């Protein structure tokens, strides 16, 4: 179960990084230059506040610096974090922008269901699209969404927190039980999903608490940095000891401990053991002379009957049990 969770977190991290990396190098080749105001204030280089309880008034000014007329079909307002779109509003607003002209359009933006979609600081884009959904131009800002913790974005952060905690618990438990791989590289890779999950949780937490917006220039270094730190910790973990040599199922490797033995001492110990064993065998195999009487006694502790021979010196019963019977 822990390994499956780790694989899921690793795949999610890879998808997020692959989706966020192109945004870092994307150049502005749009045919229109767009300026957006929200409730009369320019959204460029500032944080705008989106409250689900009221309707916002959006004003868009498009300037065409090209040689052909651009036909706008709709306006899209979307919030993206970790290469995932958490809210998007499409408003049909058809108009044309002739070459060298400036056109301004104003429309109300209804965001009443935003409280169930996002919360905190989110990078937000206002884009103009044509009929084929190609982007003609747009403007970017950071939106302070006044949603709830149980929105899609909030639940995403909670789920990532739980998964990351489970991964850390699994890895640390394996470390305590000495079940990690003896190979340092494999131990570092075992810590990779935990570090990636920690980076994602940090990005979402900073966004939800309205400290830092999850922009690509922030989220990518944070996730990569947390992943690198976790891998270094895994690489530096102590070598596992004990009978479990690896963490793979069915691993039959056993740890053996060797030491140097003195040949003289070993020979003396073997000789003494052999001499003692031979003496005991001869004592028990000594035959009983014919005509010797034996007495039967019952042990009060075990209830068994034993035969005892008379003591040749005193004539009474001896202490050695009769182990063999002779005829006659």
The per-residue pLDDT for range 43-54, each reduced to its tens digit, is 988 899 999 988
Q: What is the pLDDT of residues 123-170, one digit of tens each?
A: 999 999 999 999 999 999 999 999 999 999 999 999 999 999 999 999
Position with higher pLDDT, 298 vs 90: 90
What is the pLDDT, as a whole number, of residue 96? Answer: 93
CA distances from 70 to 35, 92, 137 (A): 16, 15, 10
Q: Is the pLDDT of residue 266 over 80?
A: no
Q: What is the per-residue burial (b if ≥16 Cβ within 10 Å, else e) of 235-264? A: eebeebeeebbbbeeeeeeeeeeeeeeeee
Query: How many angstroms separate the CA atoms of 306 and 298, rounded?
Result: 6
Q: Is the pLDDT of residue 258 over 80?
A: no
CA distances from 234 to 2, 20, 46, 166, 168 (A): 16, 27, 41, 16, 11
Position with higher pLDDT, 94 vs 327: 94
Query: How many angstroms separate the CA atoms of 81 and 117, rounded?
Result: 12
Domain ranges of the chain: 30-145
User: Among 116, 48, 129, which Cα is nearest to 86's?
Assistant: 116
| Helix ranges (DSSP H) in the chain | 2-25, 152-176, 184-208, 216-236, 263-284
For helices 2-25 and 184-208, the axis angle rounded to 10 degrees is 60
Position with higher pLDDT, 278 vs 97: 97
Q: Is the pLDDT of residue 293 over 60?
A: no
Phi, psi of 193 (to 5 degrees): -60, -35
Which range is least confidently modeled, 23-32, 125-134, 215-224?
Answer: 23-32
Across 212-227, average pLDDT:
93
Q: What average pLDDT does the structure give for the chain?
A: 79
Across 177-189, average pLDDT:
91
Query: How many angstroms separate the CA atoms of 47 and 218, rounded?
Result: 16
For helices 216-236 and 2-25, the axis angle rounded to 10 degrees is 140
Q: Is the pLDDT of residue 310 over 60?
A: no
Which range is least confidently modeled, 51-55, 82-86, 213-217, 303-307?
Answer: 303-307
Token readout for 215 is 């922009």
What is the pLDDT, as a whole number, of residue 28? Answer: 52
* CB-CB neighbours of 312 under 10 Å: 9
Q: Which CATH class is domain 30-145?
A: mainly beta
Residue pair 226/198 in contact by the 8 Å Cβ criterion: yes
Q: Is the pLDDT of residue 214 over 90?
A: yes
What is the pLDDT, as a whole number, of residue 252? Answer: 56
Q: Is the pLDDT of residue 269 over 50?
A: yes
Confidence of residue 244 (pLDDT cuts 50, 70, 90): very low
pTM score above 0.95: no
What is the pLDDT, as a whole number, of residue 235? Answer: 93
Token readout for 144 is 């302070």
């Amino acid at each position: 179960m822990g390994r499956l969770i780790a694989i899921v977190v690793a795949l999610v991290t890879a998808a997020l990084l692959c989706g966020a990396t192109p945004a870092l190098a994307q150049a502005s080749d749009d045919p229109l230059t767009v300026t957006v105001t929200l409730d009369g204030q320019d959204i460029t280089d500032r944080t705008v506040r989106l409250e689900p309880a009221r309707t916002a008034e959006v004003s868009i000014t498009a300037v065409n610096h090209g040689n052909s007329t651009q036909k706008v079909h709709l306006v899209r307002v979307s919030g993206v974090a970790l290469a995932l779109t958490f809210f998007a509003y499409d408003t049909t607003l058809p108009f044309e922008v002739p070459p060298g002209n400036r056109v301004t359009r104003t429309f109300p933006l209804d965001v009443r269901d935003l409280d169930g979609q996002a919360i905190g600081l989110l990078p937000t884009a206002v884009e103009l699209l044509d009929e084929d959904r190609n982007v003609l131009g747009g403007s970017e800002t950071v939106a302070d969404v006044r949603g709830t913790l149980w929105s899609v974005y909030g639940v995403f952060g909670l789920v990532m927190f739980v998964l990351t905690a489970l991964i850390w618990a699994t890895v640390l438990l394996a470390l305590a039980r000495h079940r990690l791989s003896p190979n340092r590289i494999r131990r570092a890779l075992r810590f990779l999903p935990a570090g990636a999950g920690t980076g994602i949780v940090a990005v979402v937490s900073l966004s939800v608490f309205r400290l830092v917006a999850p922009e690509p220039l922030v989220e990518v270094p944070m996730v990569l940095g947390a992943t690198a730190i976790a891998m270094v910790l895994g690489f530096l973990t102590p070598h596992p000891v004990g009978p479990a040599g690896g963490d793979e199922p069915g691993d039959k490797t056993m740890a053996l401990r060797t030491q140097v033995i003195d040949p003289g001492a070993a020979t003396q110990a073997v000789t003494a053991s052999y001499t003692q064993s031979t003496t005991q065998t001869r004592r028990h195999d000594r035959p009983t002379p014919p005509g010797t009487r034996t007495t039967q006694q019952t042990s009060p502790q075990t209830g068994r009957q034993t035969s005892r021979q008379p003591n040749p010196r005193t004539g009474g019963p001896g202490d050695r049990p009769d182990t063999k019977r002779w005829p006659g």
